[in-house]
Amino acid sequence: MKHKFASVILLFAVVLSLACLAQTGTAAPAPAAPAPAAGAPAPAPAATTPGTAVAAGSTNKVGIINIQGAILASNEGRRDLETLDKKFDPKRTELQNLNKEIEDLKKQLSTQGDKMNEEARANLVRNLETKQKSMQRSSEDAQNEYQQQQSEIAQRILAKMGPVIEKFVKDNQYAVLMDVSQQWPQGQVLVWSPAVDVTKQVVDLYNAQSGVPAPASASSSKSSSGTTTPKPAAKPTPPAAPPTTKSQ
């Protein structure tokens, strides 16, 4: 299931804009120092203290973060999405049972339809179409509700994760931090090195701040590729749409 994170990305853009303002807000430039006398040693560059803001242009650190992956991999995200998935189990079971009834009617129509009189066959077809329409409506309603609640979970977590990201950017003196939740060409980043991926670092910081323990079903946070991007928890499956085959 691809999550729909359009609204999440918009919210993240607001968060990053705040971080950028914090990074680029610098004092007026000091007047130029007089040139050293001939033969005099050049002054040593001023040292910067880790964790403090730096002047624009004094750092070119660039990082990438998978916001969607960070939300899914966080302890809070795993917990809440697993809870949401369990909440929809009864509806999923209901749709599966209704789908079985539809398949049984289709089978009956296929094997016995030509042996029925006109009225019996018409009743069977009408019953089949009624159940198909009912399943279509129920499935669409369930999927819309599921996706809405899923989006609410993502936005709630991102609203709390935003300040963690902003502090991480400032403390580590990043000039740019880009979201790679969507791959190119949908996303803006074409290719990047795993060395600049800070997703796991942000997830670890957020987990420590939230105090939410890892779910019992949590898997390893490292992906099989060996990158630092955390492996998201399995995405809950929304109720499936009904089959679109037409009655005979």
- Please tell me the distance from the alpha carbon of residue 62 to that of residue 75, in angstroms, as a whole number: 26
**Mean pLDDT score, 55-63:** 68
Mean local confidence (pLDDT), 85-95: 96
Task: Kindly tell me if the per-residue pLDDT of 19 is higher than 60.
Answer: no
Query: Tokens 């910081």 appear where?
Result: 205
The Cα angle at residue 86 between residues 85 and 88, in degrees rounded to 5: 70
The more confidently predicted of residues 5 and 134 is: 134
Residue that wins the pLDDT comparison between 191 and 226: 191
What pLDDT sits at residue 17? 41
Q: Is 199 helix (H, G, I), strand (E, B) or coil?
A: helix
Predicted confidence (pLDDT) at residue 52 exceeds the cutoff of 50: no
Please give the pLDDT value at position 235. 47
Task: Calculate helix-pair angle for 118-171, 6-24, nearest 10 degrees.
Answer: 10
| pLDDT at residue 200 tops 90 | yes
Q: 96 versus 45: which is more confidently predicted?
A: 96
DSSP 176: E
As a residue count, the chain comes to 248
Interior angle at CA 8, CA 174 and CA 165, nearest 5: 25
Average pLDDT in the 208-233 region?
60
pTM comes to 0.62
Band of residue 175 on the pLDDT scale cut at 50, 70, 90: very high
Q: Which of 135, 130, 110 is nearest to 121 (CA)?
A: 110
The structure tokens listed for 22 are 């914090």
User: Of the ranges 57-61, 96-100, 132-136, 235-239, which one carries the lowest mean pLDDT score?
Assistant: 235-239
Amino acid identity, residue 77?
G
pLDDT surpasses 70 at 184? yes
Confidence of residue 219 (pLDDT cuts 50, 70, 90): very low
In the chain, which ranges are continuous DSSP H helix? 6-24, 67-73, 75-87, 89-112, 118-171, 199-210
Q: Where are the domains of the chain?
A: 6-24+60-210
Q: How far is CA 196 from CA 10, 69, 167, 199, in A?
A: 23, 15, 17, 9
Kindly tell me if the per-residue pLDDT of 36 is higher than 60: no
pLDDT for the residue numbered 238: 53
- CB-count burial class (<10 Å; 0-12, 13-18, 19+) for 1: exposed
Give the integer Cα–Cα distance in Å for 129 and 131: 5
Mean pLDDT of all residues in 125-133: 95
Q: What is the chain's mean pLDDT, rounded?
A: 75
Question: Environment class of residue 196 by beta-carbon count within 10 Å: exposed (0-12), middle (13-18) or buried (19+)?
Answer: middle
Name the β-bridge partners of 187.
none
